[in-house]
Amino acid sequence: MRRTFVVGRRVLRQLRRNPRFLVLTIVGPLVIVYFLKLFFDTFPEGFDTGRYAVPAAAFIVHFMAFLLCAIALVQERTAGTMERMFVNGFRRAEVIGGYVLGYLGLATFQAAVALGEVLWLFELDYDADVLASLFAVVWLLAIASVMLGIFVSTFARRESQVFPFIPLIAFPSVFLSGLLMEPDELPRWAELLGRAFPVFYANEVIQEMIEPGGALADVWTNFAVLAGYGAALLVLASLTLREVE
Amino acid sequence: MDAIELEGLEKRYGKKVQALRGVDLSVRKGEVFGLVGPNGAGKTTLIKALVGSLRPSGGRARVLGLDPLKDRTELRRRIGYMPQSPVLYDDLSGLENVEFFGAAHGVRGLRERAREALRFVELEERANDPVHTLSGGMKNRVSLACALVHRPEMLFLDEPTAGVDPRLRSRFWAAFRELARGGVTLFISTHLMDEATLCDRVAILRQGRVVVSDSPREILRRGRTRLLVRENGKEEERIIGGRPEDLAEALHAYGLRKSVSAVSVETDSLEQVVLSIIGEEA
C-alpha cells in the first residue's frame, strides 16, 4: 500500500510540474462545453437542452480522463520507466493503484468544473440533492474512465496504438449510450452493446435526476454498476499489464 | 556459487529473429564483468533477461542463485539496474527521481541515502534541478544514482558510458571500480572494446552468442605479436604468439647480436584478437 502512495504522489507531482498540460485538461472541457452552448442556442426556444447538456458534460469528462490516463501510461512504457519501476520492485497493482490515486484528483476537478459550467451556462437550476447526485455520478464516471484508460493502455506498446481505441470507445458511447436518444428505441443488440460503456449508466442516473420528481432510489443500481465497472476494469488491468515482456 | 550462471540461454522473437542463441556464461561474485559486442549483438536482451523483465525462450539462468522470473521479488531487492539511455522522469528533479526508485525498496533514511547516491556520482549541487535541464552525461549520472540508492549486491549497467565524453567516462569507470572494491558485482555492457580492458573479465557477444569469455589479459595472449627486427640495415618481420614467453623465445634466436640495430614489437589490440577469433569460428 505504501508503494501505491509513492506512485500516486509521483504522478501528482508530475501533473503539478506540467502546468500547460493541467491548464489544457481543464480549459479544454470548458471550451467544448461553451461550443455546446453555442450549438444549442441555435435550437428553437423551449427545447429541453438540459436533457442533452448534462450528459454531454459527463461524456467530455469521461473522454478526457480516459485519454489522458491511457496516454500517460503508454508513455511510461515507451520511455522505459515502466520497466524500471518493475525492476525496482514496484508491483502491477501498485503502479495501477498509484495512477488511479494520481488521476483521481484531476478527474474530480474536471467533473466539478465541467458540471458547474453546464449548470451556469445553460441556467439549469436543480435542488441540492439533485446536484449532489449529478456530481457523484459524473465523478464515478470519471474514475471508471481512468480505469478504462489504464486497461486500454495495457494493450498498446506505443502512443500510436492508443488511437484506434479512441473511436471504438467514443462513438458507441455517443450513439448507443442514450446521450442522444432513449436507448430502448435501439435494436435489442445495440442497446445491449451500449450497456458495455460506462456512459450508459451515468446517463441513466442523469436523466432520472434531472426529471422533475426523479428519485435516486430508482437508479441507484446504476451507481453500483458504475462502481463495479471501475473495480472490474482495475482487476482486469492488473491482470493484463505486463511485468515481463 | 557464482553471481551469474547461464546455460544455453535463448531468446526468440517470432520465428525469424533469434536475439540470444544459447548463451553460456558465469560471473564471479565481486568482479567487474564486461559484456562487449556491437549494436544488435543481444547485450540489452541478455541484461533484460537477467533482471527478470524479459522471458527467455530457453535455457537456464541463475542470478545470485535465484531464478530471474520465479524469484523476481527477492532478486529485485538485491540488484540495481541502469537501463540503456537514461530512463528518468524529466519533469522531476534528480533527487526526486532517485527518491522515487529508492522508495520502491523501502530504503530507510531515504532522503539522506538519495543525497549520498548523488554525491557518489558528483551531482549533489544539481540535485534539485529538473532532469530536463541536465546534460546527457548528467542524466546518465542520475540514472546510475537511481540504480545504486538501495545499495544492491549486484549492478546491471546497460551501456552506461554510451554518448559520454572521455573525461566523464573515466570518472564512471573509477566509480565502478570503487563499487567493486566495496564488494558489489558489476555486470556492464559496452560496445567499446577499449572499455573491455577495464574489466576483470569479459564476454564477447556476437549475434546472440558468446564468442569468447575470459580476462582481457588472457584474451590478448591469444593474439599475435609482430616482431620487427633490423639487421645490417635489412628489415625482417616475424609473426609470433602473444604470450611473453613467445617473445623471449624469438629474441633468443637473435642472441642480441651487434648487427641487430633495432627491435620493435607490435601486439594485436583486443579488438584485433576478437576479430581473429571470430574469423576462426566463422
pLDDT tens by residue, B165-177:
888 888 889 989 9
Which residues lie below 8 Å from residue A106, measured CB to CB, with a gap of 6+?
Answer: A15, A22, A25, A65, A68
Residue B191: the pLDDT is 85
Mean pLDDT, to the nearest integer, of B43-56? Answer: 93
B135-142: average pLDDT: 90
* Residue B282: pLDDT over 60: no
Cell of B173: 569507470
Q: Which residue has the higher pLDDT, B180 or A211?
A: B180
Tell whether A6 lies on the interface with B, counting CB pairs under 8 A: yes
Determine the average pLDDT of the residues in A105-126.
87
Contact A81, A10 (CB under 8 A): no
| A positions 124-163 inside 8 Å of B (CB) | none
Mean pLDDT of B59-87: 91
Which pTM does this prediction carry? 0.85
Segment B205-227 mean pLDDT: 87
Q: Do B85 and A80 touch (CB under 8 A)?
A: yes
Mean pLDDT of chain A: 87
Distances (CA, A) of A19 to A13, A68, B40: 11, 14, 40
A10, closest residue in chain B (CA to CA): B100
pLDDT at B218 (0 to 100)? 86
Complete edge-to-edge strand list for the sheet that includes strand B17-27: B17-27, B4-13, B58-63
Residues from chain B that touch A75, judged by Cβ atoms under 8 A, are none
**Domain ranges across chain A:** 26-80+102-240
Across the interface, of A2, A14, A87, the residue whose CB is closest to B81 is: A87
pLDDT at B221 over 90: no
pLDDT at B150: 92
| Residues forming beta bridges with residue B158, ordered by sequence position | B189
Whether residue B154 is predicted with pLDDT greater than 80 in this model: the reply is yes
* pLDDT tens digits for range A41-93: 898 888 888 888 889 888 988 888 888 888 888 988 889 999 999 999 898 88
Average pLDDT of chain B?
Answer: 88
Contacts of A16 (CB under 8 A, 6+ apart): A22
- Mutation target vs B (from A87, A90, A241, A245; most B CBs, 10 A cutoff): A87
Residue of B53, B69, B87 lying closest to A79 (CB–CB):
B87
What pLDDT is recorded for position A84? Answer: 93
Q: In this model, does residue B242 exceed pLDDT 80? A: no
User: Which pLDDT belongs to residue B195?
Assistant: 86
Q: b/e map of A176-193 (b: 16 or more CB within 10 Å)? A: bbbbeeebeebeeeebeb
Q: How far is B270 from chain A (nearest CA, A)?
A: 33
Give B60's pLDDT tier (boundaries 50, 70, 90): very high
Is the minimum CB–CB distance between B134 and chain A shorter than 8 Å? no
Confidence of residue B89 (pLDDT cuts 50, 70, 90): very high
Residue B57: band (very low, low, confident or very high) from pLDDT cuts 50, 70, 90: very high
Which tens digit of pLDDT belongs to each residue from B71-83?
988 999 999 999 9
Mean pLDDT of all residues in B88-95: 94
Instruction: Identify the DSSP state of B231.
Output: E
Task: Report domain B4-213's class.
Answer: alpha beta
Spell out the domain ranges in chain B.
4-213, 220-281
Q: Is A85 on the interface with B (CB under 8 A)?
A: yes
Predicted confidence band of residue A183 (pLDDT cuts 50, 70, 90): confident
pLDDT band at B281 (very low <50, low <70, confident <90, very high): low
